Structure 1
């Protein structure tokens, strides 16, 4: 066998939507993006959603919404993808790295509180692998300290936690639609809020400073009732080329309809892994997975002989990975490194196993059998 670690689950529905965009001859920022934004806002129950070309862009713009003074600090977990912290640097702010909870591998709330000081302006909890951070504890503490909360939901989409969809607990939620995620647009992201005033400039910020519906404007180019200034726009804010396009949104609209079924299949696979790996010496689940409750982008284990097991599985055609090398250990972030002793040591045991909606029961059993056979 040759079992992939991640794989997008795409098919005819996505092709049909792309074909419709081709036939309309509009594949840039247009009506598909508008529709996808509306559907995503309904899906998560937010007041407003804005589509961008990546979750990295979403995080960058989310922080920029607050116009924090340069040099202020943002609390971020060390155990996350680089974008969580590079978005802080993009805004001329300082990342403060927080250790991981030993059980969930999410941000350690005690370490977060210990590393807080009066220069901190925000915190970015990451729902690592899709497992919820205790937002009912984090959010009230952040409000008490005057901190803004930006949820990094790159690893989850649609999970309910204590009565609220993850991504709607904080001031702004950011989602990823990169090809390995729970659903995909190829590359893409979405940002949501229940405070529309926060997003008053975001549509301009995502499209080089221009806050204008390009699709609607194009329709009026030959409208005799319009004057000669139909093309006119003004640039009032610093913007970036971060917009989502209609091809990506076409895929996203099809994927969103499939997302509940894809999440359900992932949950089935995770339960099979958990049942099949029970009692294996030197192996334990990456975190306390609750597949019947939450949506997980990754499944993994902690293995005492991680590297040897990886090589063994590779020899059997099974792809594995490690998510992640803690950011506090990365050269770029050395000037900001804080003591994150637990995750820096524990990361040497972490291994990601294949998980995607198209993974078959036979493939899952094959992975389990080869882990159990490892000596």
Structure 2
């Protein structure tokens, strides 16, 4: 056996969609991006969405939309990918790292209360591994303190909490379509909200501040009645970034979105098999309390006391593993912002990620389960 950790579920449909984009000879920001944005908004049930080139870009622009004064604080989970905290720094704000909840591995409500002060302006909950934060509780807590909620749903495309789509609970939601996530556009991301006015400036921000992107100008001049030698004219009135999604990415995304529910359902089936298969294993325990209904888990994480030994054991068996994530304050760049996060500082040492992707075969799943159960520690 030689089993990958992750693998995007892509096929002929995506290739045909790319060929169609090639046939139109329009590869950049164009009609397919607009189509994907509308489909995505309909899918999660929000009023508007803006496609960008990464989940990192989505977080950066989402936070920028509130125009917080420089130096204000944003509450961020210490257990997350670097982008969550980098977006805070990109906006000249200060990250305040919050400990993880020992049961869910998500942000700790108790530590949020401890870390909050009057300089905090926002909180960024992350649905760690696809496991939902209790957004009703978090929103109530944030609202009582006049904090904005930027919902980092990079791990949770297609997931729901209490029947409502993840990414639609906060003031603004951010998604990632990087190749390992629930669905992919290669790289790519989306910003979504019910506040259309909040998102409107971000269409300019993603396109270096230009008030009319190229496709928009083409649409305006395509009418036979249009007769304006200044059709090319645009203005820049604010800072912007080269963060746009392009039609190649959107073409893949449209196909992937159609597959998303089936891919998430398949991951649920695989996780069910894993959890049943290791339920009597003393050495290896689930790292997240997987709730397999309307879920969007993109990784299977376990806890193992002697992690390094287990990783080498699985490697010898031909099973890929990973570790998601190191607490951010362990990285040199974030050490100046270090706070007390004792749960995460200890818990991460046991985390191991095992293979999870829709095309895992029954034979591979059973083999991985057998390897786990045979591990002696």
* Normalised TM-score (structure 2): 0.98
Separation in 1, partners of 2:49, 2:294: 24
Counterpart mapping for 1:144-223 below 5 A: 144-219=144-219, 220=221
Counterpart secondary structure, 2:175: strand
Matched, 1:20 2:20: yes
Counterpart secondary structure, 2:51: strand
- How far 1:215 sits from its partner (Å)? 1.8
Equivalent position of 1:66 in the other structure: 66
Counterpart secondary structure, 1:51: strand
Matched, 1:40 2:45: no
Note if contact 1:221-1:230 (Cα within 8 Å) is conserved in structure 2.
no
Equivalent position of 1:263 in the other structure: 264
Equivalent position of 1:106 in the other structure: 106
Matched, 1:283 2:298: no
Equivalent position of 1:56 in the other structure: 56
Note if contact 1:201-1:237 (Cα within 8 Å) is conserved in structure 2.
no
| Stretch deviating more after TM superposition (221-230 or 87-96) | 221-230
| Stretch deviating more after TM superposition (174-183 or 191-200) | 191-200
Matched, 1:97 2:106: no
**How many residues are paired up?**
375
Equivalent position of 1:120 in the other structure: 120
Separation in 2, partners of 1:237, 1:164: 35
Note if contact 1:150-1:170 (Cα within 8 Å) is conserved in structure 2.
yes
Separation in 2, partners of 1:209, 1:27: 20
Separation in 1, partners of 2:176, 2:5: 18
- How far 1:60 sits from its partner (Å)? 0.2
Equivalent position of 1:308 in the other structure: 309
CA RMSD of aligned residues (A): 1.1
What CA deviation, in whole Å up to 9, does each residue of 1:10-40 have, x standing for no partner?
Answer: 0111111111100000000000000000000
Equivalent position of 1:346 in the other structure: 347
Separation in 2, partners of 1:144, 1:67: 20
- How far 1:200 sits from its partner (Å)? 2.1
* Residue segments in structure 2 that go unaligned for 5+ positions in a row: none
- How far 1:211 sits from its partner (Å)? 2.6
* Residue segments in structure 1 that go unaligned for 5+ positions in a row: none
Change in CA separation of 1:222 and 1:192 when aligned onto 2, cut-off 3 Å: closer
Note if contact 1:177-1:186 (Cα within 8 Å) is conserved in structure 2.
yes
Separation in 2, partners of 1:184, 1:250: 11
Counterpart secondary structure, 2:353: strand
Equivalent position of 1:253 in the other structure: 254
- How far 1:222 sits from its partner (Å)? 9.1
* Normalised TM-score (structure 1): 0.98
Equivalent position of 1:143 in the other structure: 143
Matched, 1:226 2:217: no
Separation in 2, partners of 1:347, 1:335: 20
Counterpart secondary structure, 1:35: helix
Note if contact 1:183-1:259 (Cα within 8 Å) is conserved in structure 2.
yes
Matched, 1:7 2:4: no
Note if contact 2:283-2:375 (Cα within 8 Å) is conserved in structure 1.
no
- How far 1:223 sits from its partner (Å)? 5.1
- How far 1:213 sits from its partner (Å)? 4.2
Counterpart secondary structure, 2:167: coil
Note if contact 1:328-1:340 (Cα within 8 Å) is conserved in structure 2.
no
Equivalent position of 1:331 in the other structure: 332
Separation in 2, partners of 1:292, 1:141: 26
Which runs of 4 or more aligned residues in structure 1 lie more than 4 Å from their structure 2 counterparts after TM superposition?
A: 221-224
Counterpart secondary structure, 1:200: helix
| Stretch deviating more after TM superposition (50-59 or 223-232) | 223-232
